[in-house]
A and B are shown apart, each in its own frame.
Chain A
């Protein structure tokens, strides 16, 4: 169970790479061989299935998003009466502005960003320091701590939902309440055993001679972490960061429980309220605006997204 120091090789080629077809065949063969591909019957079926799947994916993957875009600049009448009309009877760009202003989409987006960024910082800080202790500093009590963290992986988060809420409501020992503060979201998010263990496994595989050399040169533990361990760990930190930000961006139940003041709520919690009060086309415009940021980020960083997901093996908290 040890990871290679290099970023785990994840050949999920997501970007087109020029002349792949000619050069890559001997290295990268799969079910259908080059000989098969030259047979006309195989080629026809392959092209046919490919076209069919492409159409299906366009309808199922892109269709709803395009429909939402169309609905967000239509009249409510159009959405209700002619859901399949290709072009709205009148383009109302004003819906987007109305949703932005009245629904305060920008304001809630900022809250979402605050929640996500804070969770990210807290998570990385806790996971990196913990992994550093367990993997590089290796105190005598390391295995004990590591076991205590590992055990929480086996215990589903459901069991602590209510007690966690009560803890946030009234912190034991120190007193005070985190309710309606962002700490209530940031700190529980930082207690992520999966991230600690993934980073620890990566640290485990870094060459120990480097730390030894740095120590001999007089570097303290902080210096070794900052100057040696962290720069070498960029790939795993990127993956963990991405997964953490996505998870907190999508979270609904926990922020709903602990951020009850509307001016603190992230967009995911505030949107259902908006859809209860606004007109249909303004609702759609609000949904479209809420969608825009994650979709654009995904299109910009597709490669990192897809390899991160491939690597996580679909571990969902």
Chain B
């Protein structure tokens, strides 16, 4: 902005008082100009963000990198152990289970949670009256705090014949099912609850994107004789491709880090059927006290996630050039 264009370049390193050098006079003039041009104000205003990020963002990231190659004895000082933590984690017999479960969770979350919000949003966009009622109803589960939702669904999944779901399915002669107690059903049950809790926000995001689809496209399609369904298929969906990709990536990034649901629903059981990667990291660090293994596994997961989020950044940039 125009204000600072005239300001002299502020010294990049060290406090301004240390600017005593071979040409004190010139330095001094530069310093005064920097001072009057608002330099100290910028430094002052940057203090909170630099401190907070140094302590709680940049610092821990670097520390995580260092810790992953160190032994994690809390008694003895940490020593460099090379790739030992990584080989320990990679040979952990539970790791394939956890990775498999995490991908299974992600896959189920896509199957359960991807088509329905898209369909609802396309339909809501057609509503001329009472759209607010539909959106509020669809968003209501999202406002329920996750812990409340999980504890409530746990009651729904009561395995006895009188449990809510078992009673409902019993009417049509199915069940009773063991739900969370069965290694095969536990994961789908958790994903169903998680989908219920998150589908509403996807609806709202699609709805916002739908309002950006230009009406001329529909008019042109209509003039060309496209029916309603064809307009949805050949105009709406292609126009939403960018948002769909972004939502896909966001959902993947989110589901790869799923923790609260398996932690509170099943604690990773039964028979490790719902053990996710993040749950494993938690167990390494806060149950076994093995910080080295925990950070090593975090790092491995982060590499995958960083690729996904870089793709996400690129996708959003392409998706909204006008933003």
Q: Which residues of A contact B (CB under 8 A)?
A: 1-3, 8, 10-16, 20-21, 24, 28-33, 36, 42, 46, 49-50, 53-54, 57-58, 60-62, 64-65, 67-68, 71, 79-84, 122, 125-127, 129-130, 132-133, 135-142, 145, 148-149, 152-167, 171-172, 187-188, 190-191, 193, 196, 208-209, 211-212, 215, 220-222, 249-250, 252-253, 257, 267-269, 271-272, 275, 280, 283-284, 287, 290-291, 294-295, 297-299, 302, 305-306, 309-311, 313-316
Max chain B Cβ within 10 angstroms of own Cβ: one of A208, A215, A287: A287
Looking at chain B's contact residues, the main secondary structure is: helix
Question: Quick one: given A172-B59, A284-B155, are A31 and B235 in contact (CB under 8 Å)?
Answer: yes
Q: Say whether A67 contacts B164, CB under 8 Å.
A: yes
CB-CB under 8 A for A154 and B313, given A12-B211, A130-B46, A165-B285: yes
Could you tell me if B50 and A83 are in contact, using CB atoms closer than 8 angstroms?
no
Partner of A272, one of B151, B196, B305, B316: B151
Given contacts A29-B218, A31-B228, A49-B123, whether A309 and B46 have CB atoms under 8 Å apart is no
Q: A141-B12, A221-B38 are in contact. Are A32 and B228 (CB under 8 A)?
A: yes
- Is residue B317 contacting chain A, with contact meaning CB distance below 8 A? yes
The residue that A139 contacts in the complex, of B39, B140, B247, B302, with Cβ under 8 A, is B39
B275 close to chain A: CB less than 8 A = no
Q: Mark B88-132, 1 if CB is under 8 A from A, else 0.
A: 000000000000000000000000000000001011011111111
With a cutoff of 8 Å between Cβ atoms, the chain B residues found around residue A60 in the complex are 141, 196
Given contacts A8-B323, A136-B1, 5 further A-B contacts (CB under 8 A): A14-B132, A148-B58, A162-B64, A295-B144, A305-B143
Residues of B whose CB lies within 8 Å of any CB of A are 1-4, 9-10, 12, 38-39, 41-43, 45-46, 48-50, 52-53, 55-61, 63-64, 67, 120, 122-123, 125-148, 151-152, 155-156, 158, 160, 162-164, 167-168, 196, 200-202, 204-205, 207-208, 210-211, 213, 215, 218-219, 222, 228, 231-232, 235-236, 246-247, 250, 253-254, 257, 259-260, 263-264, 278, 281-282, 285-286, 291, 294-295, 298-299, 301-302, 305-306, 309-310, 313, 316-317, 323
Contact call A137/B236, Cβ cutoff below 8 A? no
Q: Roughly how many angstroms separate A160 CA and B49 CA in the complex, as a whole number? A: 18
Q: Is the CB of B45 within 8 A of A129?
A: yes
**Which residue from B57, B123, B246, B301 sits with its C-beta under 8 Å from A156?**
B301
A-B contact pairs, 24 of them (CB 8 A): A16-B132, A30-B125, A31-B126, A31-B228, A31-B232, A50-B127, A62-B140, A83-B163, A84-B167, A129-B48, A139-B42, A141-B10, A154-B313, A159-B295, A159-B302, A164-B56, A167-B60, A167-B63, A190-B48, A190-B52, A208-B1, A221-B45, A291-B145, A316-B250
A164 with B46: in contact, given A11-B211, A67-B164 (CB under 8 Å)? no
Contacting residues, chain A, for B264 (C-beta < 8 A): 252, 272
Q: Are the CB atoms of A271 and B151 closer together than 8 Å?
A: yes
Closest A residue to B63 by CB, please name it: A163
Which of B52, B140, B151 has most A Cβ within 10 Å? B52
Contact A29 B205 (CB under 8 A): no
By Cβ-Cβ distance, the 4 closest A-B pairs, closest first, are A310-B208, A130-B49, A160-B60, A163-B63
Residues of A within 8 A of B120 (CB): 53
Least Cβ distance of A64 to chain B in Å? 6
Partner of B49, one of A21, A80, A196: A196
CB distance from A261 to the nearest CB of B (A): 16
Q: A31-B228, A140-B10, A163-B60 given as contacts; is B138 within 8 A of A129 (CB)?
A: no
A315–B151 Cα distance when bound, in Å, is: 25
Contact A310 B205 (CB under 8 A): yes
Interface of A is mostly: helix
How long is the Cα–Cα vector from A8 to B208 in the complex, in angstroms? 11
Task: Knowing A155-B306, A302-B136 are in contact, say whether A272-B210 is a contact too (CB < 8 A).
Answer: no
- Residue contact B145 to A126, C-beta cutoff 8 Å: no
Contact (Cβ within 8 A) A162 B281: yes
Residue numbers in A under 8 Å from B67 (CB-CB):
162-163
Complex-state Cα separation, A14 to B309, whole angstroms: 31
